Structure 1
């Protein structure tokens, strides 16, 4: 569930789902000690005064259910019943200061490896105001993205260059030109398309921006293209500067590839919206008793500077259920701090098309989102331009509360898309 904070806490707080074959209270205290002043044996200097100043605390422990055996292998070799609990730990700010990289070591470090732990998932984090003061958050967010894309009061209708890889620069530019003529708002590189010899980044950017700028000169509206500049810091800086010179209005980075420091630095030197791709999210989250919840994870990246955050999509091609997708999108639209919302635009992707529009709008209750439909646009029977038109019409119908079949009666693009998606 998405948490809504009315005020920033004075200490760092983190909520966990814990499973243990031992006493949950003792295991929680072990976690607190391991992640602050304690270790596996008493050490000289760990005085009561030091503990009072620096130790983590178990703020809350709510017992949940029991299970007949451990979810994950127990390093202690213990089988038999296990207990689960929701645990809240807190740390004094003076242990680490407002540092996101060191925050990760504190709230998501060695505690995953403790012997008494047979399941642990980080559910949520709450941060003091000092983090808001230390990090910029999204520079563009929802309002800036809408301004640059020239889209108000509806979702940004977008797509991914497909096939994901294989096109050269001119083939990519030709496809983007047809999408521009078809009325697309947003186009992104696939995360697999980077800077390979067959489609070098620089050549691709120049070719694509040539057609994007020409279209903008004719129509007064510039399509937003998120170019994948994922690389090391020097590469990303150089690629960013090329995007600025060519008049691009967005850049894309793979979060798990560039890492937290890479995202922080990209936000510091960058002057374009950051489209943050979450590829690899499954290895952090797919097991329900290991890793991260999206609620906690996305807060780190928003504060670091991500403007757009991928959240999967309804009826997607992956393993995530619809409720999880909607919760993820809602939390991107939930303020992080009372005076610094740090809102990011959720990006719906993965097998999206016209049929998901009504359910997505009904569940989210907002049009502050980007829909990136690859096959849902590219595979339209009448071509990509008709795919763009159909997806926009589907969202018009969803917002108006009109069933898709009724809205499609005198709209052939939507009608054909519904038939193809049946």
Structure 2
């Protein structure tokens, strides 16, 4: 494989009567020239159509397909890259994008996290230990109450206090008011305790609002924000990374729409690698034993690995398991996942009643690691 070739692996599930070889050739054509091979000039075919490197029958009935894509057809553009990897074929069935061997040029074009694991640690002023996080919820509370929750969690020492992804600019808590009030509450408690808790507002919004929300967050003094890149578009991560001096925590809302068992993008690749490459410093996913049972332990381990493993000059990002993580299990997860993790715990902190005390107990766990 040359440096200018993007090697991509898919798993194919064929319906009765569907020929795997025809399916493989169809994917190569659909994701490039989008014409029958007889209609493509020979010189164009050689330049743009991916070549089949492997088509192997597996014991489970699927086929492993490896294609070499000419890097040039991506234009080194993030949106076109996704279009080439899983564009029109997302409208078909039984095709799962599993792995990509990135070219040096694409790694440079995508860029990865601005801060990464080490940068987030530096913001918090902490060493090699797990990082604690919680979410402001439920939707429907007023700004003063949410700011009070921020103060409680900061007083308990929680590292990262984020908006829930459902909070945007509702009548009950307008975005700008909430950002200012919550950041002020955290600042006041930090000044009182000597802590370094961070507040992360949810800046997710339509494109015409995204810059206004990021501007408001930066002006309020926020050092990090939450964004849902599968709602805004993945390229919004790159856009925000390049224009704002804030770390980015990516939330997976809507990601499940393109991450199925037999069709779609493997969640380990989507959340663990693609989201990292597009600029996320922290990536939320639904942890094993939580309320999203399709994410088993093996999948969570693969997501963690892809967020952390060497990838050219790309900084590692922090796995952020959430989705029903119980505070009582925090010692287990801190031990299992090691220091390079953000433990996102919400409901089980609220259920304890005294939020500051519950936060302190969680903080004792992560600081003791």
Q: Quickly name the TM-score band, shorter chain normalised.
A: over 0.9
Q: TM-score, normalised by structure 2?
A: 0.92
* Gapped regions of structure 1 (runs ≥ 5): 1-6, 67-82, 400-422
Once the two structures are TM-superposed, the CA of residue 40 in structure 1 deviates from its matched residue by 3.0
Once the two structures are TM-superposed, the CA of residue 396 in structure 1 deviates from its matched residue by 5.8
Q: TM-score, normalised by structure 1?
A: 0.81
Q: Tell me the distance in 2 between the aligned counterparts of 1:41 and 1:323.
A: 40
Q: Conserved in 2, the CA contact under 8 Å of 1:314 and 1:356?
A: no
Q: Conserved in 1, the CA contact under 8 Å of 2:277 and 2:314?
A: no
Q: Does 1:111 align with 2:89?
A: yes
Change (3 A) 1:360 1:60: farther
Q: Does 1:22 align with 2:29?
A: no
How do 1:15-94 and structure 2 match up within 5 A?
15-20=9-14, 21-37=17-33, 39-40=35-36, 42-43=38-39, 46-47=41-42, 49-65=43-59, 83-94=61-72
Q: Conserved in 1, the CA contact under 8 Å of 2:307 and 2:319?
A: yes
Q: Tell me the distance in 2 between the aligned counterparts of 1:355 and 1:219.
A: 25
Once the two structures are TM-superposed, the CA of residue 194 in structure 1 deviates from its matched residue by 0.5
Q: Tell me the distance in 2 between the aligned counterparts of 1:38 and 1:173.
A: 53
Report the counterpart of residue 363 of structure 2 in structure 1.
392
Q: Conserved in 2, the CA contact under 8 Å of 1:216 and 1:222?
A: yes
Give the alignment partner of residue 126 of structure 1, picking from 82, 93, 101: 101
| CA deviation map 1:109-131 (0-9, x unaligned) | 122445xxx41111111211111
The CA RMSD over aligned residues, in Å, is 2.1
How do 1:403-418 and structure 2 match up within 5 A?
none
| CA deviation map 1:54-101 (0-9, x unaligned) | 2211111221136xxxxxxxxxxxxxxxx4211111111122221111
Q: Conserved in 2, the CA contact under 8 Å of 1:232 and 1:262?
A: no
Change (3 A) 1:207 1:270: same
Q: Conserved in 1, the CA contact under 8 Å of 2:269 and 2:303?
A: no
* Gapped regions of structure 2 (runs ≥ 5): none
Q: Tell me the distance in 2 between the aligned counterparts of 1:274 and 1:243.
A: 12
Q: Conserved in 2, the CA contact under 8 Å of 1:121 and 1:293?
A: yes
Give the alignment partner of residue 350 of structure 1, picking from 323, 328, 333: 323
Q: Tell me the distance in 2 between the aligned counterparts of 1:54 and 1:377.
A: 53
Q: Tell me the distance in 1 between the aligned counterparts of 2:47 and 2:119.
A: 42
The number of equivalent residue pairs is: 365
How do 1:246-395 and structure 2 match up within 5 A?
246-285=220-259, 287-298=260-271, 299-319=273-293, 320-337=295-312, 340-364=313-337, 366-381=338-353, 383-395=354-366
